[in-house]
């Protein structure tokens, strides 16, 4: 059975990101409500019903949110004096270490989503812009700094578990990283920035000099898969356009041949008509001669 909040929102054609924004909730939190995983906060039930009954006002609010989100994305899409995206600086303000953390907070799965948008590989949709803007507009989304293991009053990173992972082992051994990166114009720096590790970590992995942690391999795999998938979609679209062009060319060629054939038939008919006209003139003269006799 469809969740009550999901059903009501869909009936009013309100986007999930807009509803979350109007309720003042984090996107993931509101999405969990629609999935029935958590209950709507009691103090927001009346507000939700009020929003549902304000059609025109909701349209204006959503429109303004879209405009604000566009402006925000234009700012985040710029680079500062050091060559860093302004989005990275904003992430730093919210204690978000890398794109991988951000995509999870925004409700996306692939780390390549954000990086492809920043690089201009994929067109940026309104939904993404609004999720991003709504998230960073709410200071309640500032993340609590994550403390790592404490030892002698200093922090150090706990070593990851090295339990065997056959799937990632096969991926690492069989994947020609250099070939993929060259084909799709990807650099070690691109990958490093996207997954939040040092350039050298990616470089040693892609050159097969050193096998990194499974976590790093998994992040690299997700990033490359997202880039490859976006490229395949683009190539399919281009192929489709090319096939469409070829089909039109074939149709034009067939039509041109038919026109030529019709023109030949017309010329043949004209010749026959001329021949018949001559014959008619002769018959008329013959009739005149007979009448004079």
pLDDT in tens, 20-30: 888 888 888 88
Question: Domain coordinates of the chain in residue numbers?
Answer: 4-141, 158-240
pLDDT of residue 250: 62
CA of 112: how far to CAs of 73, 194, 266, in Å?
17, 7, 63
What DSSP state is assigned to residue 140? G
Residue 153 has pLDDT above 60, yes or no: no
Share of the chain above pLDDT 90, in %: 1
Q: Of all helices (H) and strands (E), which one includes residue 156? A: strand 154-156
148 band by pLDDT with thresholds 50, 70 and 90: very low
Q: At what angle do helices 4-11 and 42-52 cross, to 10 degrees?
A: 20
Q: What is the pTM of this model?
A: 0.46
255 band by pLDDT with thresholds 50, 70 and 90: low
pLDDT of residue 244: 44
User: What stretches of 24-165 show up as alpha helix (H) in DSSP?
Assistant: 27-34, 42-52, 55-76, 86-93, 99-106, 112-118, 126-137
290 band by pLDDT with thresholds 50, 70 and 90: confident
Give the mean pLDDT of 238-259. 58
CATH T-level fold of 158-240 = 434 Repressor (Amino-terminal Domain) (1.10.260)
């Amino acid at each position: 059975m469809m969740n009550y909040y999901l059903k009501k929102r869909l009936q009013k054609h309100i986007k999930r990101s807009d509803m979350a924004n109007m309720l003042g909730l984090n996107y993931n939190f509101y999405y969990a409500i629609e999935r029935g995983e958590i209950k709507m906060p009691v103090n927001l039930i009346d507000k939700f019903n009020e929003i549902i009954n304000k059609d025109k006002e909701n349209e204006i609010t959503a429109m303004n949110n879209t405009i604000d989100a566009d402006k925000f994305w234009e700012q985040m899409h710029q680079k500062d004096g050091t060559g860093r995206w302004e989005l990275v600086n904003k992430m730093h303000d919210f204690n978000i270490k890398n794109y991988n953390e951000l995509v999870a907070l925004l409700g996306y799965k692939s780390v390549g989503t954000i990086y492809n948008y920043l690089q201009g590989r994929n067109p940026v949709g309104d939904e993404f812009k609004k999720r991003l803007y709504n998230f960073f507009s709410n200071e309640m989304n500032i993340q609590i700094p994550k403390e790592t293991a404490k030892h002698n009053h200093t922090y150090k990173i706990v070593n990851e578990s090295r339990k065997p992972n056959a799937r990632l082992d096969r991926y690492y051994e069989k994947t020609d990283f250099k070939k993929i990166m060259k084909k799709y114009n990807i650099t070690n720096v691109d990958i490093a920035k996207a997954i939040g590790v040092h350039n050298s970590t990616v470089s040693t992995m892609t050159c097969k000099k050193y096998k990194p942690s499974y976590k790093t391999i998994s992040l690299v795999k997700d990033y490359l898969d997202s880039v490859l998938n976006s490229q395949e979609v683009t190539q399919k679209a281009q192929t489709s356009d090319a096939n469409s062009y070829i089909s039109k060319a074939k149709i034009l060629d067939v039509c041109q041949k038919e026109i030529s054939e019709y023109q030949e038939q017309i010329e043949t008919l004209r010749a026959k008509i001329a021949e018949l006209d001559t014959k008619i003139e002769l018959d008329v003269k013959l009739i005149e001669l007979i009448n004079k006799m």
